[in-house]
Amino acid sequence: MAMDGGRLAPGAARDWCGTMPVHRRLLDTDPGYARAREEIETFTFDAAREEPPPLGLVTIPTVVHVVWSQPAHNVGDEQVASQIEGLNRDFRRRNADVSILPAVWGPLAADADLEFSLVDVTRTRTDVAAFDTDDGVKSAATGGADPVATDTHLNLWVCQLGGGLLGYAQFPGGPPETDGVVVTHTAFGSSGTAAAPFDLGRTATHEVGHWLNLRHIWGDDGDGCGGDDFVADTPNQAGPNYGRPTYPKVSCGNAPHGDMFVNYMDYTDDAAMVMFTRGQVVRMAAALRGPRSGLLAAAAAS
């Protein structure tokens, strides 16, 4: 098993995801967020224990906000489409590269029954050279773009992030005006400005996982073995993995099979992460039944 959750492009910090800094900031500054997170986790544990019937296919309306200061950052429609295609491929387990899974984890790889429908693309020119995890990109007042109906839509911002950061998300339960996912343009989709080794759209897959209440697979306890992602079928592991590890990558006494470095919620290269587990899918379904139930209402109304 592995606890809280955002991906930084290669560099000294090696902390590619900014979701956990956002989470901790909200815990420190917003008492309502702390209460909401406690209630959400209680609901999630209860839902997993009760084993409710499957939701069936859920389609999530998605708005992409392209925020750019240089023409190269103004990603084209083809690149946007490639990212939506990537999300649909990964969340439906239709990715051909699932074939690289070590045999022991094949039966755990699951179809999340989630699809993403692009309903709008907004384009905003900004004077901000690079954004950070302070949510500036999510507001027109700070050089970004305001979100659209965050209770019923996934809002996905694409911009230039600073400090080597690849992306970040907001867990369920946060302020609606900052709800959504942010991805730097060089890790967005699989064409245009997307650059190896983050050029298969998996940064967005990882961050949307956080947005649906998934934690990092190692449990965010540094390199210790005491973290928990609250998912029973993900092995405990000592910290994130990078690049393309060779199976088995053993840590935390998890031999013989070792770390599940092929999981979308690790930090490996896009070409190395290829699966969500059945337990992770159950957790995402609980988010849809609970804090993100507005998405189900939107799907039913469409």
85 is catalytic: no
Determine the pLDDT at residue 253. Answer: 94
The pTM of this model reads: 0.96
**Calpha distance 105→217 (Å, rounded):** 14
Q: Evaluate if residue 115 carries a pLDDT over 90.
A: yes
Contact at 8 Å (CB) between 177 and 251?
Answer: no
Mean pLDDT, residues 40-59:
93
Local confidence band at 263 (pLDDT 50, 70, 90 cut-offs): very high
Q: Is 246 exposed, middle or buried (0-12, 13-18, 19+ CB in 10 A)?
A: exposed
CB 77 within 8 A of CB 121: yes
Would you say residue 128 has pLDDT above 90? yes
pLDDT at 14 over 70: no
> What is the DSSP secondary structure assignment for residue 26, as one 8-state letter?
H
Q: How confident is the model at residue 10 (pLDDT cuts 50, 70, 90)?
A: very low
Q: What is the pLDDT of residue 5?
A: 44
Q: What integer pLDDT is reported at residue 298 of this predicted model?
A: 83
* Distance in angstroms between the alpha carbons of the first and the last residue of the chain: 37
Report residue 266's pLDDT band, with 50, 70 and 90 as the boundaries.
very high
* Angstrom distance (rounded) from CA 152 to CA 149: 6
Residue 108, phi-psi category: left (phi > 0), alpha (psi -120 to 50), beta (remainder): alpha
What average pLDDT does the segment 225-235 reach?
95
- The pLDDT of 33-37, averaged and rounded, is 97
Which residue out of 41, 51, 115, 207 is catalytically annotated?
Answer: 207
Mean pLDDT confidence for 177-193: 98
Inform me whether the pLDDT recorded for 8 exceeds 70.
no
> How do beta strands 181-184 and 167-169 pair?
antiparallel
Find the angle CA(247)-CA(250)-CA(256) to the nearest 5 degrees.
Answer: 75
Q: What is the rounded average pLDDT of the residues 161-166?
A: 96
Rounded Cα gap, residues 265 and 270, in angstroms: 11
Structure tokens at 3: 């606890």
Mean pLDDT of the residues in the chain: 94
Q: What is the C-alpha to C-alpha distance for residues 153 and 146, in angstroms, rounded to an integer?
A: 13
Which CATH code of 3.40.50.10490, 3.30.230.10, 2.120.10.70, 3.40.390.10 fits the domain covering 19-215+281-301? 3.40.390.10
pLDDT value at 2 more than 50? no
